[in-house]
Amino acid sequence: MILRSLSAFFISLVLIWQDGGLSTPQDQKWLMPDLTEVEAKLLGINQGEVSFEKPNGELFSLPFRELTSTDQAEVMRQTGWGRVWEDDSGKYHYIADLVSVSGQQVTLENVDGVQVRVDITRLSKSDQQYVEARRTTADTVLPDEFTAKVVGVHDGDTITVLLNNRQYKIRLEGIDAPELGQDYGTKSKQHLSTLVFGKSITGNRKGGDKYGRNLCNVMVEGTNANRSLVSEGLAWHYKTYSRDKELAAAELDARKAKKNIWSEQGPIAPWEWRKWSSAQRKNFIDSPRAAKPLLANDSEPPVIKPNVEKPKPPAATGSYWLNTESNVRHNRGCRWYGNTKRGRPCSSNEGKPCSKCGG
């Protein structure tokens, strides 16, 4: 599990506030990165950005990580997003939101949208109790018809809403959007964010899935969000589970117009992508796409995507290397020096020392 150390003060502060419930957003003072105070109302958090509104109506946003620990805790308290998770040893702490629970597997999502899975037995006793409490029906199931505010967008077909001071996960019914690692996965999420984030939506619950999410049709300002994603070529009609004629027609129109995912030759459906190993996914991304027509009557020549070399981390130089995912510092004698997925050279006082090499 990707872990990040926090000060004892921050940990105790957040844990106290988490039990205090959610509050109605109101104007209050927030400390900016330049140490000036700004009076504003908190609107929500999405994709690592915290949105605010000043008394004069001016909107602005800041990265969650640039807020003070006190303001980070206040954002979590007001929005209901996130929790400081602790492992069973009590040594490591991680800020993330609970996405789902399936058997012993707990899925968490950090402020950057990165999801990790951890066995429930690896969590502290209090976190285990928190997870178990959220297995109950009362904590996860929305009414058949409801109006709620969207406080989180996880990808192109999954959102979090706030209703009666409680968070609920929603999976948009009848569609399947590209995964974030796929082509158009980020664009699909951005489209849904623009459409619903921070807004009041009306929903019609059709059922639930094995991850405890509510399967819903979502309306926002007169627009059907499910259909909008399919119409824009940013999601598939999930025909395995849906016989919706309007979604089927919307996908056919998007295919004919070659919108977004349908502009690609042989786009891989997300339900197939999820079956692939990480190596298969990497090979697909790095290799030229096979010539495969979108439609049976598509007579245009195939378009082959060239390989694009992905940027590499900076070369390891100097005496220390910082893993920017875990914030752990390694010295030159460590096996992880210059050998992490994300990292950079650093000074001797950055990050926390590696428990193996001493940093």
- Strand arrangement of the beta sheet that strand 27-31 belongs to: 27-31, 37-46, 49-53, 59-63
Alpha helices in 25-134, H assignment, sequence order:
69-79, 125-133
Question: How does DSSP classify residue 188?
Answer: H
The Cα–Cα gap between 172 and 214 comes to: 8
Q: Is 342 annotated in the active site?
A: no
The Cα–Cα gap between 90 and 19 comes to: 20
The Cα–Cα gap between 162 and 13 comes to: 23
Contact indicator for 188, 196 with CB cutoff of 8 Å:
no
The Cα–Cα gap between 173 and 237 comes to: 9
Report which of 355, 350, 296 is spatially closest to residue 320, judged by C-alpha positions: 350
Beta-carbon contacts of residue 119 (< 8 Å; ≥ 6 apart): 104, 105, 106
Contact indicator for 54, 65 with CB cutoff of 8 Å:
no
Q: Is 232 annotated in the active site?
A: no
The Cα–Cα gap between 237 and 125 comes to: 41
Q: Is 179 annotated in the active site?
A: yes
Dmax over Cα atoms in the chain, in whole Å? Answer: 65
The active-site residue, picked from 77, 171, 289, 329, is: 171
Report which of 155, 152, 228 is spatially closest to residue 185, judged by C-alpha positions: 155
* Residue 53, helix vs strand vs coil: strand
For strand 166-172 and strand 115-119, is the pairing parallel, antiparallel, or unpaired? Answer: unpaired
Beta-carbon contacts of residue 296 (< 8 Å; ≥ 6 apart): none
The active-site residue, picked from 179, 205, 227, 329, is: 179
Annotated catalytic residues are 171, 179, 213
